[in-house]
């Protein structure tokens, strides 16, 4: 019997260390051991333990504590696994409908053991790649139809071919692990849960383009990923899989890890290269492209984590097998990180072509508290908000682009009826303006002006001409910005104006926030029929805006009220209401 404990960042943050302590204590002086694995994607139920019985049955336990972990361990010793904390059939639907390639090892193998990876077929694709050679590899990637999973969806084989064709005595492979979108955590989970898969993909790319060095640019906010990458590289070197004459061939390769400081703009490949070279992360115009002149001025192939994580599967199974999945223009699978108001948030990997509704409702169980879905933000700050009536859009690069959003790296933030779309646009514009490198005027100044207008609107000080000004600024930034960050920065604003213009007009003309979120455009009232006069709300109010006598109804002075929500959180009788509009 095996016990696999999810020990990625999400599991550890949820209490996996206490679960480990509980299980190890229960298993003392027994043959049972706990295997630490990465995140299996069911983040909504962490901490998770998967029990694999002697006859191969898989039983998932979720939301464990140290006490319930001890109980699980005791039940295993007694030969009868407990029923408590088992994930329900409904929750297990999360895994149905998925097709796991990139995530196939996450939650299944020990990410800190190269033997665990090799036992599951690891580095067999590398051996096959050495036999296929450069032209054979690029041909397989071409057959697969693999497109870059970092957001732009550029055909991978063209990048590889371009780097191969570029003359140079040195060439480099760069993995872009600078995952900076709010709500995105796909790359982190793969690096923490299956680092060798990414490293193997990079080495295969090295054979294809003629490179001997792989550089991994990962943000310093991912300490566990960095630790496991370093350990994996050390183990590879010990096994002779790195260095000179790998597997008895004339191929040599090695890795270096570079930790970035967390600048969102460094997700853009030329800014990333500048940072790799020790300079400030700022983009440059293209051409030349990195494939011609990249790191240290040498030909460089850059792909992101998920792209490289697909490579070994494609080489092992054949490009045509990969191309059988997906749509005509978007082949294979895509990993998505589901966050926000969805019931079962986590990591989902599905064939291209499913709809957003298939994922949100079919796999992730719908909306928390059974509220109405309003929109899904795709592509992070560079993406857009897709409204409820377009959620049957097939997920592929072209169809998502038609909505005004982008596929991006795969983040999906689900929003319900209580989300203010103007406030959401302001949130993303605030993020983008702060993350702008400042090199070009359209992005540096334009995003700041757009943010100022959005702040006026949510404060109830906007006018209808502001909408036209926002759209004019947005189009100017899209045309004039130097890099992809600036070009796409206006997308959240443009899509919210396109699909939710009525909310902008309500903020401007009626001075109301229909979602009751913008503090300047709402007011708090106490329903006298429900108020019991307990005075708790008055005691919790930090601004002394609530007054009244004990055992009599209280009232709120909205001139003093700062809409902090402390009173609502403290009221046990549901007497305090939020109203749209200012009193």
Taking the chain (583 residues) in runs of 10, the rounded mean pLDDT of each run is 96 97 95 96 97 94 97 94 96 93 97 97 98 97 95 92 95 95 91 98 98 96 97 97 95 96 90 94 92 96 97 98 95 96 96 96 96 94 93 94 88 95 96 93 95 97 96 95 89 96 97 94 95 95 95 94 94 94 75
User: Whole-angstrom Cα distance, residue 37 to residue 23?
Assistant: 15
Residue with tokens 């630790």: 227
Distances 335 to 157, 265, 395, 474 between C-alpha atoms, Å: 20, 22, 11, 29
Q: Where are the alpha helices (DSSP H) in 166-247?
A: 186-193, 195-209, 223-239
pLDDT value of position 261: 87
> Which residues make beta-bridge pairs with 523?
579
pTM for the structure as a whole: 0.94
**CA 3 to centroid of chain Cα atoms:** 27
pLDDT value of position 568: 95
CA angle 277, 282, 285 (to 5 degrees): 100
Task: Please list, residue by residue across 455-486, b when 16 or more beta carbons sit within 10 angstroms of its beta carbon and e when fewer do.
Answer: eebbebebeeebbeebbebbeebbeebbbbbb
């Amino acid at each position: 019997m095996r016990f696999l404990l999810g020990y990625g960042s999400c599991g550890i943050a949820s209490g996996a260390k206490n679960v480990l302590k509980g299980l190890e204590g229960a298993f003392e002086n027994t043959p049972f051991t706990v295997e630490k694995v990465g995140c299996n994607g069911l983040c909504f139920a962490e901490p998770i333990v998967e029990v694999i019985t002697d006859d191969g049955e898989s039983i998932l336990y979720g939301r464990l504590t140290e006490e319930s972990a001890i109980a699980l361990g005791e039940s295993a010793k007694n030969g009868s696994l407990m029923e408590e904390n088992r994930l329900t059939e409904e929750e297990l639907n999360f895994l149905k409908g998925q097709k796991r390639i990139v995530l196939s090892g996450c939650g299944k193998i020990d990410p800190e053991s190269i033997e665990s990876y090799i036992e599951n077929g690891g580095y067999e694709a590398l051996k096959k790649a050495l036999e296929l050679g450069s032209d054979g590899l690029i041909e397989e990637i071409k057959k697969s139809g693999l497109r870059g999973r970092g957001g732009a969806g550029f055909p991978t084989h063209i990048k590889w071919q371009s780097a191969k064709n570029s003359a140079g005595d040195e060439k480099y492979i760069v993995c872009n692990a600078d995952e900076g979108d709010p709500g995105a955590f796909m790359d982190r989970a793969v690096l923490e849960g299956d680092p060798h898969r990414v490293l193997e993909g990079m080495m295969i790319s090295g054979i294809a383009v003629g490179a001997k060095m792989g550089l991994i640019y990962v943000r310093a906010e991912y300490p566990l990923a960095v630790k496991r990458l370093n350990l994996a590289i050390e183990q590879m070197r010990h096994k002779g899989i790195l260095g000179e004459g790998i597997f008895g061939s004339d191929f040599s390769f090695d890795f270096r890890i570079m930790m970035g400081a967390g600048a969102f703009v460094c997700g853009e490949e030329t800014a990333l290269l500048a940072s790799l070279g020790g300079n400030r992360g700022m983009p440059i115009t293209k051409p030349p492209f990195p494939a011609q002149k990249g790191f240290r001025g040498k030909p460089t192939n850059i792909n992101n984590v998920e792209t490289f994580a697909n490579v070994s599967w494609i080489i092992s199974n054949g490009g045509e097998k990969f191309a059988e999945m997906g749509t005509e223009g978007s082949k294979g699978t895509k990993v998505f990180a589901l966050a926000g108001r969805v019931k079962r948030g986590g990591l989902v990997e599905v064939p291209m072509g499913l709809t957003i509704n298939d994922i949100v409702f079919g796999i992730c169980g719908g909306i928390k508290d059974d509220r109405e879905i309003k929109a899904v933000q795709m592509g992070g700050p560079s993406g857009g908000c897709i409204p409820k009536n377009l959620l049957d859009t097939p997920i592929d690069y072209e169809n998502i682009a038609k909505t005004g959003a982008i596929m991006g790296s795969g983040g999906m933030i689900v929003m319900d009826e209580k989300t203010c779309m103007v406030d959401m646009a302001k949130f993303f514009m605030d993020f983008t303006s702060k993350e702008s490198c400042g090199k070009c005027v359209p992005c540096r100044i334009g995003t700041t002006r757009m943010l100022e207008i959005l702040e006026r609107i949510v404060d109830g000080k906007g006018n209808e001409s502001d909408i036209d000004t926002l759209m004019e600024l947005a189009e100017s930034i899209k045309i004039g910005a130097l890099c992809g960050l600036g070009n796409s920065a206006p997308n959240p604003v443009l899509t919210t104006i396109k699909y939710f213009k009525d909310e902008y007009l309500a903020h401007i003309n009626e001075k109301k926030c229909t979602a009751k979120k913008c503090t300047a455009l709402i007011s708090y009232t106490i329903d006298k029929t429900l108020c019991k006069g307990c005075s708790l709300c008055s005691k919790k109010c930090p601004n002394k805006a609530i007054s009244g006598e004990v055992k009599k109804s209280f009232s709120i002075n909205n001139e003093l009220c700062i809409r902090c929500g402390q009173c609502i959180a403290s009221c046990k009788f549901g007497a305090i209401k939020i109203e749209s509009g200012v009193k």
